[in-house]
Amino acid sequence: MLKKKLIIFPFNGNGVEALDCISFDEYELIGFVDDDACKQSKQYDIYTRDILHQYRELHVLAVPGSPASFRKRKEIISSLGIDRSRYITAIHPRASIGRDVQVGKNCLIMAGVVLTSNAQVKDHVCILPNSVIHHDSVVGEYTLVGSNVVIAGGTTVGESCYIGSGTNIINGISIGDASLIGLGSNILKSVLGNAKMVGNPARDLNTLVEQKIL
């Protein structure tokens, strides 16, 4: 079978870890695309964005983002200017995908992730190892979910959020768009958009500053 040619963007930690999630029986890795001309690798070829438009048969996995830049993921991925059909989704063979789960385009699902019945993962989402998304929960587009996160049933996580590793989110609530949930936080009630939640139980740093509690 003729293998599909694949480019990963950018050359970052998520991109390198994605290699463990890709079937090389199906894909041939051409290399990485990165905007930083100083990045080098002895192991992989690194290209500019020009290759995406010069060779339109290339498939793409785009996994930018960090706690510092997660709110810009939509802008960064959109700026690649490629059709949605060219994106792939990479799911590690040791991830568990339950009944009637929906996973969108350009998603990265790492080892040990569990998505249970009727969960929805929208386009452009990264879920790091050993996180559990329970039944009927929704993870919005462009969101990053760290490792060892538990999102209980019926919860909705908005677009362009960052859920820090070790976080626990109670069932049946919502996390507003562009929210940052700090490492190891316990979320026990719904969170408004653009929140910065930390602690156990988690509190919004924005609100604490406004109230001059900090």
State the pLDDT at residue 65: 92
For all residues of the chain together, what is the average pLDDT?
A: 95
Q: How many residues belong to the chain?
A: 214
Superfamily of domain 90-197: Hexapeptide repeat proteins (2.160.10.10)
pLDDT digits (tens, 9 = 90+) for 14-65: 999 999 999 999 999 999 999 999 999 999 999 999 999 999 999 999 999 9
The model's confidence at residue 214, banded by pLDDT at 50, 70 and 90, is very low
Domains of the chain, residue spans: 4-86, 90-197
Long-range contacts of 151-156 (CB under 8 A, 24+ apart): 153/116
State the pLDDT at residue 28: 97
Number of Cβ within a 10 Å radius of residue 86: 18
Percentage of residues of the chain with pLDDT beyond 70: 96
pTM above 0.85, yes or no: yes
Distance between CA atoms of residues 82 and 166, nearest Å: 34
* Per CATH, domain 4-86 is 3.40.50.300: no
Phi, psi of 115 (to 5 degrees): -115, 115
Distance between CA atoms of residues 142 and 123, nearest Å: 7
Distance between CA atoms of residues 10 and 124, nearest Å: 14
pLDDT digits (tens, 9 = 90+) for 97-129: 999 999 999 999 999 999 999 999 999 999 999
Phi, psi of 150 (to 5 degrees): -120, 120
Distance between CA atoms of residues 136 and 172, nearest Å: 9
